[in-house]
Amino acid sequence: MTETIDQATQTELEAAAFRRLVAHLQERTDTQNIDLMNLAGFCRNCLAKWYKAAAEDKGLAVDYDQAREHIYGMPYDEWKEKYQK
């Protein structure tokens, strides 16, 4: 039997899945953005752009660098220096 999920719970579940995806990508620094793009059609930068767009939809001022830092877990230039091959 499938339980009906209310909208608030649905949003909570989606947010939890998003947070887990971001944490996973922060842990998997060996996975390059180009590999993600080739295999999945999106990368960390795409997630940052989507995050920024969602903030703007809510009337919040989040710039691209802030969004990338949220997704990468550090400033983008630092991540590039440490992990980009």
pLDDT at residue 1, as a whole number: 64
| Cβ within 8 Å of residue 66, ≥6 positions away | 52
Evaluate whether the domain defined by 7-83 bears CATH number 3.40.50.920: no
Low-confidence ranges of the chain (pLDDT < 70): 1
The amino acid present at 78, given as its one-letter code, is E
pTM, full prediction: 0.88
pLDDT at residue 29, as a whole number: 95
Q: CA-CA distance, 62 to 1, in Å (whole number)?
A: 42
pLDDT at residue 3, as a whole number: 83
Residue among 57, 60, 33 nearest 46 (CA): 33
Question: Could you tell me the residue ranges of all domains in the chain?
Answer: 7-83
pLDDT at residue 15, as a whole number: 97
Decide if 71 contacts 51 (C-beta within 8 A): yes
Q: CA-CA distance, 25 to 45, in Å (whole number)?
A: 11
Decide if 17 contacts 9 (C-beta within 8 A): no
